[in-house]
Amino acid sequence: MKLDLAAARERAEFLRKEIELHNYNYYVLDKPVIPDSQYDQMMRELEKLEEQFPELITPYSPTQRVGGRPREGFATIRHLTPMLSLANAFNEGELRDFDRRVRQALPGEQVQYVVEPKIDGLAVSLYYENGYFIRGATRGDGETGEDITANLKTIKTVPLRLRRPVPELEVRGEAYMSKESFARLNEAREEAGESLFANPRNAAAGTLRQLDPQVTASRQLALFVYGIGHSRGIAPSGHKEVLELLSELGFKVNPEYRVFDRMDEVIEYVSRWQSRRFDLPYAVDGLVLKVNSLSQQERLGSTMKSPRWSIAYKFPPEQAVTRVKDIFVRVGRTGVLTPSADLEPVRLAGTTVSRATLHNEDLIREKDIRIGDRVLVQKAGDIIPEIVAVLTGERDGTEVPWSMPRECPSCRSPVVRAAGEAAVRCTNLACPAKLWEGLIHFASRNAMDIAGLGPAVIGQLLASGLVRDPADLYSLRYEDLVRLERLGPKSARNLLGAIEASKSNSLARLIFALGIRHVGERAARILAERYKSLEALMAAREEDLVAIPEIGPKIAAAIVDFFASEENRRVLEKLVQAGVNTRDAGTGAGEGGPLSGKVFVLTGTLASFSRQEAKEEVEKRGGKVASSVSRNTDYVVAGEKPGSKYEKALVLGVRILNEEEFKELLAGIKNH
């Protein structure tokens, strides 16, 4: 059936409303009313319509949750009101002290408390205008956070459009990762030889700060909202009402909240939670108490750091006793040997634990951990447990002290420990374990992003002798690849394509991919911007490097060390010969600036800037200026007599700034 534009628009809007409703039923109420297949069918129909009529696409369309390309960095956003944190209480006495302070400040008044779970995730703020999701940010330092709008849009419980419009609404909540998604993510990372996240909170933070929204979407975050930061057009009188209102508007509010009239009841409730918390599918690290009445909240006010009307009760860390069965070491990418304890499985904080990190040999010596020892293990919110103490009184003499092996468990080369360092390293540059980890890192998504080059294929390439260093990847031939086990003609071709494509990656990616110690993604970006070419970076002296803000002496020394190695220089020369890009393509100006990652389109005449000047102002702050409006455009700046770009922006729902607003944005006064 062929529709005309008007009919298609109507149908698309109908589908969006339906999909939003079923999204709400499914994700917020947990009560789906239609089968998944019917939902999928509606999504497909909407996708088709939007494909046929791209002008119908709006940023809030359910098809647009995973949109945009990876960003170079995040812009900063100033919060409308500061995002405070909470004071903590660790026991009943401290809760009663809090109650006493509240009542003293409100003499003779009734006080009700709302108690809700404290979700172990990361605070975010979401801003809506006339019911539409405009932008979202991390808490940051409380005053300013990072613009993570694209990533928040991938969370299914973030409504892109509210169930009814509110003129202005800034909601706050906790983005988190369920225990199940967390376990799945870590399993995949372990398989890929990547470092593990210590707890769901770190995993959620790492995921929200992903520059590529595709990655965020793949990791399944969720969000509970717990309050309003700023609003216009609504007037709730209590916190319970706020929660009810937020839920009506389409947000997911944690259903576990309760209202109490007396502190005794609160304490009784808190004690019931000590074990209950493990039954929930997400990590809860405490309970939050809030004075219900908003007028009382206002009169109680806040200190610089936290509100006087709320307190967080923190659960005590969970501990358990078990036995160390063995201690083993793993060789990492940089050749560091990391010991871990193999434990007798024990229930701890709701999961079964069979491993503990031991960090390095000093820690083992300090705590005198021996194989066979009975030990106290603890998870203080962290998922990877640690050994708190050895129960030396329970030793029977059969325990075996452990020491770091003198040779690498992978290649048998001698290991060394540099003066002043806790880490022991394998000295063999060609150690297969190191090479394996190094290649996994080189090919990983945030480095050279070579799809199809996972740990298994890398293992085969190393074993067959086809690859001895990252540069060898670029001389692989189709005939070599198809001969590998489990790599069919199609995968082989795809892999070659991905390797070829990686040649034109940015310099920043290449620097990060090299795996220089201490040089993460951010440092790599800074170095690429400063030196503009690999050759220039190789020639940098240590004193030049430390002079760069954010490059400390440790990083500088590691860089100089890395390039001093003849072996490394040989590999780099091979990479250059293979045609891998070693230059910074962009102008680099303003990278990491407040507008970085933002795409602007200019239309019409501005009173106080020429086109060129306006362009430079944007670029100075890290933004980009494009010539035509698309779904990837963040802002259209409209001067006098704007052209068709203005209309296109209206149709696509791109944010339009007038000259005044543009100037405010440049000045960092307002966050649009």
Residues that bind ligand IVH (CB under 6 A): 84-86, 116, 118-119, 123, 139, 174, 226-227, 288, 307, 312
Residues classed as catalytic: 118
Cα-trace Rg, the chain: 28
Is 510 within 8 Å of 580 (Cβ atoms)? yes
Q: H/E element holding 95?
A: helix 92-105
Closest CA to 263 of 90, 85, 88, 103: 103
Rounded Cα distance, 43 and 63, in Å: 7
Q: How far is CA 117 from the centre of its chain?
A: 22
Q: Which is nearer to ligand IVH, 227 or 639 (CB)?
A: 227
Is 321 within 8 Å of 158 (Cβ atoms)? no
Q: Which is nearer to ligand IVH, 79 or 139 (CB)?
A: 139
* Residue 82 C-beta: closest distance to ligand IVH, Å: 9
Rounded Cα distance, 474 and 450, in Å: 11
The amino acid present at 36, given as its one-letter code, is D
Q: Which is nearer to ligand IVH, 84 or 320 (CB)?
A: 84
Q: Which is nearer to ligand IVH, 116 or 617 (CB)?
A: 116
* Residue 118 C-beta: closest distance to ligand IVH, Å: 4
Q: Which is nearer to ligand IVH, 205 or 404 (CB)?
A: 205
* Residue 88 C-beta: closest distance to ligand IVH, Å: 8
**Burial environment of residue 17 by CB neighbours within 10 A (0 to 12, 13 to 18, 19 or more):** exposed
DSSP 3-state of 455 = helix
Instruction: Supply 126's token pair.
Output: 């979401």
Q: Which is nearer to ligand IVH, 115 or 528 (CB)?
A: 115
Q: Which is nearer to ligand IVH, 136 or 227 (CB)?
A: 227
* Residue 122 C-beta: closest distance to ligand IVH, Å: 6
* Residue 231 C-beta: closest distance to ligand IVH, Å: 15
* Residue 233 C-beta: closest distance to ligand IVH, Å: 22
Closest CA to 129 of 158, 80, 166, 173: 166
Dihedral class, residue 130 (left if φ above 0, else alpha if ψ from -120 to 50, else beta) = left
Q: Which is nearer to ligand IVH, 116 or 318 (CB)?
A: 116
DSSP 3-state of 500 = helix
DSSP 3-state of 665 = helix
- Give the DSSP letter of residue 392: G
* Residue 312 C-beta: closest distance to ligand IVH, Å: 5
Place of tokens 């839920």: 247
Q: Which is nearer to ligand IVH, 227 or 438 (CB)?
A: 227
Q: Which is nearer to ligand IVH, 285 or 634 (CB)?
A: 285
Enumerate the H helices of 106-178 as residue ranges.
Answer: 149-153
DSSP 3-state of 493 = helix
Rounded Cα distance, 117 and 354, in Å: 28
The three-state DSSP-derived secondary structure of 553-598 is HHHHHHHHHHHHCHHHHHHHHHHHHHCCCCECCCCCCCCCCCCCCC
* Residue 146 C-beta: closest distance to ligand IVH, Å: 15
Rounded Cα distance, 506 and 200, in Å: 31
DSSP 3-state of 67 = coil
The amino acid present at 160, given as its one-letter code, is L
**DSSP per-residue letters across 21-53:** HHHIIIIISS---S-HHHHHHHHHHHHHHHHH-
Rounded Cα distance, 427 and 442, in Å: 20
Is 475 within 8 Å of 578 (Cβ atoms)? yes
Q: Which is nearer to ligand IVH, 86 or 336 (CB)?
A: 86
* Residue 208 C-beta: closest distance to ligand IVH, Å: 12
* Residue 80 C-beta: closest distance to ligand IVH, Å: 14
Q: How many helices (H) and strands (E) does the chain have?
A: 24, 24
| Cβ-proximal residues to 397 (8 Å cutoff; 6+ apart), any chain | none
* Residue 163 C-beta: closest distance to ligand IVH, Å: 22
Enumerate the H helices of 590-640 as residue ranges.
Answer: 611-620
